[in-house]
């Protein structure tokens, strides 16, 4: 049984991330979404809040994947978790350089860990968590890009709802 890890910040999870998780589930038996505790990014949601949103999404959509928080080096987590594959989404050419660097660095840190790239549906290729936050902060609708409960959490964070 191949166990794979889909790591990211998920601040917050978007339909693009969900698309990648579903694709990974079609290929692998055991998929774990790994929510990074700290990534150097100034996150809007705490790691716990991000994890809860991921878990709720998986449950609501009946996606057979697990979710957990990880801290420290990704390869250390992958090894500790008895996985060998990291899944990442490639949305556009602009993702390539940073993903290439990360994949090769992770390989340097642990030769047994492979990174596998999946392409999300083209309609999600322009999505990012930052752009979602920008729209939500300005009271725009993000209904088409995130699950309903995530939209609600964004509205609460930005003070448009209690
Ligand atoms: N659909 C929509 N958006 C997507 C997406 C998809 N399929 N795939 C990625 N994104 C977006 C994210 O929302 C995010 O947007 P943002 O920058 O506006 O927040 C951006 O693309 C990239 O984010 P993410 O996929 O979460 O990756 P990341 O770069 O934030 O996190 C980690 C990368 C956590 C995996 C990496 O930092 C890590 O491994 N950290 C642990 C420490 C470590 O091991 N470092 C050495 C690595 S070589």
Looking at residue 82, what is its pLDDT? 92
Identify the active-site residue in 47, 50, 88, 129: 129
Nearest atom of ligand 1 to the alpha carbon of 132: 18
Residue 6 makes CB contacts below 8 A (sequence gap 6+) with: 20, 21, 24, 31, 32, 33, 34, 65, 86, 87, 88
Task: State the distance from the centre of ligand 1 to the C-alpha of 40, rounded, in angstroms.
Answer: 11
* CB of 7 sitting under 6 A from ligand 1: yes
The domain segmentation of the chain, as residue ranges, is 3-122
Specify the CATH number of the domain 3-122.
Answer: 3.40.50.620
Write down the pTM of the prediction: 0.95
Q: Is residue 92 within 8 Å of 125, Cβ to Cβ?
A: yes
Q: Each residue's pLDDT tens digit in the chain (162 positions)?
A: 789 999 999 999 999 999 999 999 999 999 999 999 988 889 999 999 999 999 999 999 999 999 999 999 999 999 999 999 999 999 988 889 999 999 999 999 999 999 999 999 999 989 999 999 999 999 999 999 999 999 999 999 999 976
């Amino acid at each position: 049984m191949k166990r794979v890890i889909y790591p990211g910040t998920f601040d917050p999870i978007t339909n693009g991330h969900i698309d990648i998780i579903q694709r990974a589930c079609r290929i692998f038996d055991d998929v774990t979404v790994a929510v990074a505790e700290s990534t150097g990014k100034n996150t809007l949601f705490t790691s716990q809040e991000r994890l809860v949103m991921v878990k709720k999404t998986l449950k609501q959509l009946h996606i057979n994947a697990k979710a957990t928080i990880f801290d420290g080096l990704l390869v250390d987590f992958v090894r500790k978790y008895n996985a060998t594959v990291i899944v990442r989404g490639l949305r556009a050419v602009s993702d390539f350089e940073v993903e290439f660097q990360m994949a090769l660095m992770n390989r340097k840190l642990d030769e047994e860990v492979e990174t596998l790239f999946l392409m999300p549906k083209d309609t999600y290729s322009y999505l990012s968590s930052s752009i979602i936050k920008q729209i939500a902060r300005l009271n725009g609708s993000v209904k088409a890009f995130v699950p309903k409960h995530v939209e609600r959490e964004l509205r609460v964070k930005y003070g448009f709802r209690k």
